[in-house]
Structure 1
Amino acid sequence: MTELTVGLLLFPTFEVLDMAGPIEVLNVLSIYMGKSLQLHVIAATLDPVSPGPIEPGTSSSFAGQQLYMPTNTLDNAPALDLLIVPGGPGSGNKEALRPFLDFIQNVCKGYKGHPPAGYLFSVCSGSLLLAWAGVLDGKRATTNKSFWDFITSNGPKTHWVAKARWVTSGNVWTTSGVTAGIDGMLALVSSIWSEDTAEKVGATIEHNRAKASDDDPWATHYGCQDVLPVTG
């Protein structure tokens, strides 16, 4: 029996480590810890998705030469226990992301006979998609500190926590910049299974894990302050 059905949302010019860090944690859970996991890579179409720009008729960038294959579209994704939303350069294009925002809303509330997802998990500027989808309204969240002002200004109904490696608000988990996705996913593993399991996964990937959610030096580095939600 599948213990966790995972959806990975990919849009053009996503950040690779935002995706790969949490997925590697789950890989170890599956391969070495014997957990029964199922993965669905979800995109707008079944065409390959690239983390870099691809310009027709020109040589693609290094990132643009990388292609990742979806298994499902936004229209035929199955019921999910966990949806992972990475960030990256493409996360700032709200209009282009509208179908993805609608999908996040649907996954959050349940649709097509599917129950709501048990967990929503964003990495880096993936929180921007959650904010635009309305998922972070009235919640606490964090995000990439180097883009703090831009992202927080686009989520005026959210309490943005600056000194945070990750923030949990109900079933929504938001993590800080890029590598924080690994720490946040290990924390989620600890919450779902056990701290011992999370420790073993961290040791397997030889990761110097931040175990406290506020173990974050980057808010100070970038001079970030908490941003309270706009009321009224």
Structure 2
Amino acid sequence: MTILADKDLLALAARLADEAAEIIRTIRARGFETVTKTDSSPVTEADHAAEAHILRGLRAATPYIPVIAEEEVAAGLQASATPSYWLVDPLDGTREFAAGRDDFTVNIGLVRDGHAVLGAMALPAYHQLYTGGVGLGAHRTDKQGTQAIHTRKPPAEGLTVLASRHHADDTRLAEYLNNQPIAHLGNIGSAVKFARVAEGLVDLYPRLGPTMEWDTAAPQAIVEAAGGHITLLDGTPLIYGKADWKNPPFVCTGTR
């Protein structure tokens, strides 16, 4: 059995995320149906097809690393954290996808000893691919090629903030932002918000509503590789391996 180095694991995750993005674009172009899962969240053919492709690729190339994937868990697969494991969200932002909006992603992250250490995130509608990891830097690949990305220091005129589209009326958001210098506040869906922090377009993404570990592992690795930070509201790190895979509220920031 070949044990892959982290740079090769990141290349694997990047390739599979990019291929899954193409699967999603193909299904979107020809049309699809949306059904509701038992937790009242939506799921589509694209979620299942993208996840199946990613799982085949990860399990073939890294049989020694378990994979925790959103739709398998939703289908009843029981899994628990191990020292290392992949976390896969094949289509983060299904509501955005189903509504015909562009803010949805493919997330493949690797957790080691409770920390997100590398990840790949594709933005299918934007034809963008983000990658990052400990000691590997953070990069964006698009039609112009591949370039390193970095978070930015907040500008003097105030913070650019992105928050969840589906929790825009959460009173906790206004309370959290109170007394902070805000130049612009926008609301979009999915993990796209992390990408905009990682590449230095946005300064702050407060997430006060629910998320799951597969929503955040890949984005966290990318943001932190780009110089940013993801912490709980008390300033402690967002870590992985929770029994129910649920994250508490957190804040994603750029360079401090």
Q: TM-score, normalised by structure 2?
A: 0.27
Relative to total residues, which structure has the larger strand share, 1 or 2?
2
Q: TM-score, normalised by structure 1?
A: 0.29
